[in-house]
Amino acid sequence: MSKITLDKVNLHYPLYDLSANDFRLKLLKAATGGKIESGKDVTVHALNDISIEFNHGDRVAIVGGNGAGKSTFLRTVAGIYEPTSGQIKVEGNLSTLLDITLGMNDELSGAQNIFCMSYILGRTKKQIEERLTEIIEFSELGEFINLPVRTYSSGMRVRLAFSVISFLSSDILIIDEFFGAGDKGFIEKARAKMMELVTNSSILLFVSHSKELVYELCNKMLILEKGHVKEFGGIKEIGPKYFKEKKDKNES
């Protein structure tokens, strides 16, 4: 049974080589809306005292404005950032889908890239070979699979990358929105594959701006604001209000 527990998690994010009066800093402050503390070193207080629990069956949409800390939150739960204070306990194995083209090398062929990218994700040669035909078939790259990736169009790259990651199986999935590229037919197929991945997982943490996707994949919602938890609950309860407010804000 998978479980994620965060207890009073804080994350201070240092920014280097910026002086306190720097123009770039002001720009950053305006752009992120996050809280920037300037002392000797400039730090962003990206996650502020977050205590929360995710259990088996939770499919959580993480939403909030720009700079609310959504991606930082995902990366902290995944263990990419270590919290400045507080505890994070993760039970179950965890996979991140934050950047799908991770480890892709332009000079190598599509097939070589399948191996290279899968090794980064921690798979063994045997596991990769077992899935190889399936992955190649899913990517619809045909003969292109033996050509170097630098000859690919951006749509083909996405197809290759998605095919590699979509054969993950994991208790906990941490996903940052990455749809958009690729041709229409493939997006549909990728969505179906995503649903399958999510169904087989125990906990999903999903950052997305798409209302449609969020309703399709998630059953809970976590609203972040300036690194705080603003609201956490069932998507049916807090979802409509959140999206209505967001829509009103965009229209005004």
Partner 1 sequence: MNYTLAVKDIINSVKKWRVWYNLALYDTKAKYQRTKLGPIWIVLVNLIFVGGISLVWSIIQHADIRSILPRFFSGFIVWQFLSSFVLEGCEVFTVEKKIIFNIPIEKFTFLLKNAVIQSVILLHNLAGFFIVMTLMGNWPNFYMLLFIPALILTLIAAIGISLILSFIAARFRDISPLIKSLMSVGMLVTPVLWDASQFGTKYYLVYINPFAIFLDLLRKPLLGQPIGMLELSLALMLTFVISGVAFMLFSRFRHRIIYWI
Q: Which is nearer to partner 1, 84 or 219 (CB)?
A: 84
Q: Work out how close the CB of 245 gets to partner 1 at its nearest, in angstroms, rounded to a whole number.
A: 31
CB contact at 8 A, 20 and 92: no
Q: Work out how close the CB of 82 gets to partner 1 at its nearest, in angstroms, rounded to a whole number.
A: 4
Residue 200, H or E segment: helix 184-200
Contact set with partner 1 (CB under 8 A): 13-17, 75, 78-82, 94, 96, 98-99, 102-103, 105-108, 112, 115-116, 119-125, 148
Q: Which is nearer to partner 1, 94 or 238 (CB)?
A: 94
Q: Which is nearer to partner 1, 13 or 179 (CB)?
A: 13
What span, in angstroms and rounded, lies between the C-alpha atoms of 41 and 120?
34
Q: Work out how close the CB of 209 gets to partner 1 at its nearest, in angstroms, rounded to a whole number.
A: 19
Nearest partner of 224 among 29, 90, 12, 52, judged by Cα: 52
What span, in angstroms and rounded, lies between the C-alpha atoms of 11 and 87?
11
Question: What's the half-sphere exposure (Cβ side, CA atoms, 13 Å) at 147?
Answer: 10
Q: Work out how close the CB of 151 gets to partner 1 at its nearest, in angstroms, rounded to a whole number.
A: 12
Q: Which is nearer to partner 1, 107 or 212 (CB)?
A: 107
Show Cβ contacts of residue 138 under 8 Å, excluding neighbours closer than 6 positions: 163, 166, 167, 189, 193
Q: Which is nearer to partner 1, 179 or 215 (CB)?
A: 179
Q: Work out how close the CB of 219 gets to partner 1 at its nearest, in angstroms, rounded to a whole number.
A: 25
Q: Name the token pair of 229.
A: 């938890």
